Amino acid sequence: MKLKATADETTAKVAAPSPTLPFPAGGAESGPEAAGKLGARIAAQGRIDHGPPVAVIDIGSNSVRLVVYEGLTRSLTPIFNEKVLAGLGREVLTTGLLAADAVDKALAALTRFRALCDAMGVGKVWAIATAACRDASNGKAFIVRAAKACGAPVDVLSGRREAELSALGIISGFHKPDGIVGDLGGGSLELTDVRGHRTKSGVTLPLGGLALADLSAKSLAKAEKIVRDKLGHAAVLKGGRGRDFYAVGGTWRSLTRLHMAQTGYPLHVMHGYVIPASEAVEFSRLLRRVDPETLSRIETVPAARRPLLAYAALVLEHVVRIARPRRIVVSALGVREGLLFDKLGNAEKKRDPLIAAAQELNVLRSRSPRHGEELADWTDKFMASSGLEETRDEKRLRHAACLLADIGWRAHPDYRGEQSLNIISHAAFVGVDHPGRAFLALTVFFRHVGLAAFADDELSPHVRELANSRMIDHARVLGATMRVAYLVSGAMPGVLPNTPLVVERGKLKLKLMGKHRNLAGERLFARLKQLARLIGREPVMVTE
């Protein structure tokens, strides 16, 4: 398994724990005051040292947001996120101006954001502004004040550049994306075709929720005519048939969060949530017909976004009718993440975001990060000799599972499986769909709890709903393989490379040769037998 850095190199990026006790015994420097001084010298052990944090300030037509990230990396980890719904774009298309009260609210937020960045030691701040600021006649004057308030130059994105960054956000967050990206903001809708790492030139349309409410004088009938006319001329949608439509933007996320709540979806993770296209149309029509306050589970949508739901639903319905995608895929990543992705070098851009995130969790939580890497290589050899079928995407997930296999070791033994399952199911991973999350979570659950838990219904049925029978079978085999590996190695590096597990002449052989022969034991052989039953082989422990 090829990784960017060795485990020792990666581990070196995590600040080493101080040998000094938190409360030194005796002397003037003992007690809570000494602990406070010590705490000021020790970096947080739950963070990877990528250098100073970086931040993006996004001045949108509806919201003004600050997101601070742990560092500029392939797998972005937000450490702070705050938004203020200022509504800068609510009157721009009819008055041509940013409303005075919205300007005041936005500037107050930007001033606070600058103070937060200073307090957090942010090394670099990128500030961007979108449709409202580029369209308003007083937009330039506001940008001057905004730059002073946030202490950074503000880049007013053109519509084409905004569409490009939205597409890059999808590329950064999905494995092999293929479809149309639609970023719906308060002022505009950006549409871009994306296939893998390639994008086509995008378009921007004045179809954001605030813009539609403004242009139509809050008449949905008038808004529908505007939407139908604008989208009917968007040639990019003609290439969407049978592909995915990636929904980006806060109002569309609110719409899909409501759908998730009403359908009782088992996983509360927005990124990668999928709605079949026909179902999206029906749900959009429902949102257009009724008062949102009367909808079941409407409390899951922030009150300030509820008036915009009908406009977002209107746009989504017509996008689906024109583009005819097979499904709607929700993205938590967009312009901000696309901007940072664009700052990376080519080699970093090509890294797999799921593997990158799994590597970081492996460093932060495992007993030995190098053991997780060795486990991936060890299972490579097992799978190659076993005759078991495995696709390239399944191999990728297996590697991620190996890196995550030991992240729950600090929990009580009775709860390691459950805790690992919850962490993996709900982690801020990108580059993996929801069934893939379920596979990763189930694999590590089985590694801790054993395979009988599945039959005994110890495992919540909700996670199982997301994985098909093939994925569950693969998770059981990989979990059983890990149970052998951890008894062989004790979770320490240097053992697995010298104790191969292979299928030879129809037999499952664990080879404990030379100095490793004393690792043999009844419990280890029992786990080997369990794996052998799963794959229909005879178990053999070789100790010569």
Number of helices (H), then strands (E), belonging to the chain: the values are 23, 15
What are the pLDDT digits (tens) for 237-269?
999 999 999 999 999 999 999 999 999 998 989
* DSSP SS3 for 170: helix
User: Is residue 168 over pLDDT 50?
Assistant: yes
Q: Are residues 124 and 190 in the same domain?
A: no
The string over 56-77, giving b where at least 16 C-beta atoms fall within 10 Å of a residue's C-beta and e elsewhere, is bbbbbbbbbbbbbbbbbbbbbb
In a domain, 49, yes or no: no
Q: Cα 308 to the chain's mean position, in Å?
A: 25
Contact 444, 420 (CB under 8 A): yes
Burial class (CB in 10 A: 0-12, 13-18, 19+), 362: buried
Q: Using the 3D structure, point to which of 339, 373, 402 is the last residue of a domain.
A: 339
Query: Nearest Cα to 8, choosing from 306, 266, 362?
Result: 362
Find where tokens 């990124």 sit: 271
Is residue 1 in a domain? no
| Contact (CB, 8 A) for 351 and 400 | no
Does 427 share its domain with 532?
yes
Give pTM, 2 decimals: 0.89
CATH number at residue 270: 3.30.420.150
Confidence of residue 226 (pLDDT cuts 50, 70, 90): very high
Instruction: Check: CB of residue 186 under 8 Å from CB of residue 61.
Output: yes
Closest CA to 24 of 11, 10, 34: 34
Q: Which residue in 408, 447, 409, 410 sits closest to 424, CA to CA?
A: 408
Torsion over CA: 216, 218, 220, 221 (sign): negative
Give the residues across from 198 on adjacent strands: 195
Looking at the domain assignment, is residue 344 inside a domain?
A: no
**For the CA atoms of the chain, what is the radius of gyration?**
26
432 and 526 part of one domain: yes
For 192-212, the pLDDT digits (tens) are 999 999 999 899 999 999 999
347 in a structural domain: no
Domain span holding position 80: 54-156
Answer yes or no: are the C-beta atoms of 193 and 238 closer than 8 Å.
Answer: no
pLDDT tens digit sequence for 444-466: 999 999 977 554 455 556 677 89
Let me know whether 237 and 331 are in one domain.
yes
| pLDDT score of 293 | 87
CB 347 within 8 A of CB 392: no
Give residues with Cβ within 8 angstroms of 169, minimum separation 6: 181, 248, 331, 333, 334, 335, 336, 337, 338, 341
Question: Which CATH number goes with the domain that contains 138?
Answer: 3.30.420.40
pLDDT digits (tens, 9 = 90+) for 123-153: 999 999 999 999 999 999 999 999 999 999 9
Q: Which amino acid is at 37?
A: K
* Final residue before a domain boundary, out of 105, 123, 156: 156
Residue 543: is its pLDDT beyond 80? yes
Q: Is the pLDDT of residue 4 over 90?
A: no
Q: Are residues 325 and 387 in the same domain?
A: no
Residue 346 domain-assigned? Answer: no
Among 144, 169, 79, 86, residue whose Cα is nearest residue 116:
79
pLDDT digits (tens, 9 = 90+) for 376-416: 999 999 999 999 999 999 999 999 999 999 999 999 999 99
Q: Is residue 46 domain-resident?
A: no
Q: Is residue 43 pLDDT above 60, yes or no? A: no
Location of structure tokens 């790492």 = 197
Last residue of a domain, one of 112, 132, 156: 156
Assess whether 219 and 330 both reside in one domain. Answer: yes
Are residue 84 and residue 97 in the same domain, yes or no?
yes
pLDDT per residue as tens digits for the range 274-299: 999 999 999 999 999 888 888 888 99
Tokens of 18: 């101080």
The answer on 123 and 245 residing in a single domain is no
Spatial separation of the C-alpha atoms in residues 290 and 503, rounded to whole Å: 61
Burial class (CB in 10 A: 0-12, 13-18, 19+), 270: middle
171 and 225 both lie in a single domain: yes
Q: Does residue 348 lie within any of the structural domains?
A: no
| C-alpha to C-alpha distance for 467 and 303, rounded to whole angstroms | 34
Percent of the chain at pLDDT above 90?
Answer: 82
Report d(CA 381, CA 501) in Å as an integer. Answer: 7
Q: CA 344: distance to chain centroid?
A: 18
Considering the domain architecture, whether residues 378 and 525 belong to the same structural domain is answered as yes
* Contact (CB, 8 A) for 272 and 434: yes
Alpha helices in 86-182 (DSSP H): 92-95, 100-119, 131-135, 139-150, 159-173
- DSSP H/E element including 313: helix 309-323
Query: How many distinct structural domains can be found in the chain?
Result: 4
Q: How many CB atoms lie within 10 A of CB 387?
A: 11
More confident residue, 4 or 213: 213
pLDDT at 157 over 90: yes
Residues 464 and 416 occupy one common structural domain: yes
Claim to verify: residue 380 and residue 511 sit in the same structural domain: yes
Does residue 59 form part of some domain?
yes
Average pLDDT, the chain: 90
